[in-house]
Amino acid sequence: GPSSSEGAGKVSLLKKVPALKDGDFTLAECTAILLYLSRKYNTPDHWYPSDIQKRARVDEYLSWHHANIRANAPKTMWIKVLIPLFTGQPLPSEKLQEVMEGLSTSLKQFEERFLQDKAFIIGSEISLADLVAIVELMQPVGVGCDIFEDRPRLREWRRRVEDAVGKELFFQAHEMILNIKELSNIQIDPQLKEQLAPVLMKMLK
């Protein structure tokens, strides 16, 4: 999301995080960063396959993800924790219901179009597509919206992702998301509240 810090502006022309600084080279947008790192460090082929059709399947999911899963899943965190924290006011329950309905539609498409009966999104091995998907889908879980509970196929896919990454690393990577409710207890600088509240509200429109 947007960042008002001077440091973010130096790393990313878009003044957004995440951003990467690698020597003199800077890069914004999480998907671009993931692809850059996978190429630079010659990661195992299954993450971003050299096979042109398998790679195209990863690209296909990443393209779909932004307008579907990402368009809804993170909003649960904004609605239940971050916006009340910065504005001092809870949002109407109808707003969360609207987001959850949109997310439910996206999850149905995710299962039927991408996951189908496969172990992972592009087949029998985990890829960057699975990593991008799971990080987004753990955000509703962190605020008490367990989207896996009534979706056995989705739940089994999550278990396989956990096993492929390693449970310890998986929960370490998601520790902040899973403990996001603890932010409700912190004190926010009034000036920062004034700056960020309108930005956060705009993100939900």
Query: The whole model's pTM is what?
Result: 0.84
Percent of the chain clearing pLDDT 70 (strictly above): 88
Helix (H, G, I), strand (E, B) or coil at 142: helix
CB atoms within 10 A of CB 154: 19
Rounded Cα distance, 58 and 47, in Å: 9
Helix (H, G, I), strand (E, B) or coil at 134: helix
Rounded Cα distance, 192 and 20, in Å: 24
Token pair 């957004």 is found at: 16
- Domain 50-203 top-level CATH class: mainly alpha
Contact at 8 Å (CB) between 147 and 103? Answer: yes
Q: Omega into 18 within 30° of 0, i.e. cis?
A: yes
| Cβ neighbours for 200, distance < 8 A, ≥ 6 positions apart | 78, 82, 83, 86, 87
Q: Give Cα 13 to chain centroid, integer Å.
A: 21
Q: Using one digit for the tens of pLDDT, what is the confidence trace for 125-140?
A: 999 999 999 999 999 9
Q: Do domains 1-43 and 50-203 have the same CATH topology?
A: no
Contact at 8 Å (CB) between 58 and 49? Answer: yes
Angle between helices 128-142 and 69-77 (to 10 degrees): 30
pLDDT at 204: 63
Quick one: which of 179, 95, 164 has its CA closest to 134?
A: 164
pLDDT at 39 over 50: yes
Domain ranges of the chain: 1-43, 50-203
Q: Using one digit for the tens of pLDDT, what is the confidence trace for 54-69?
A: 999 999 999 999 999 9
Out of 3.40.30.10, 3.40.50.1220, 3.40.50.9100, 3.30.1780.10, which CATH number does the structure's domain 1-43 have?
A: 3.40.30.10
| Cβ neighbours for 95, distance < 8 A, ≥ 6 positions apart | 79, 204
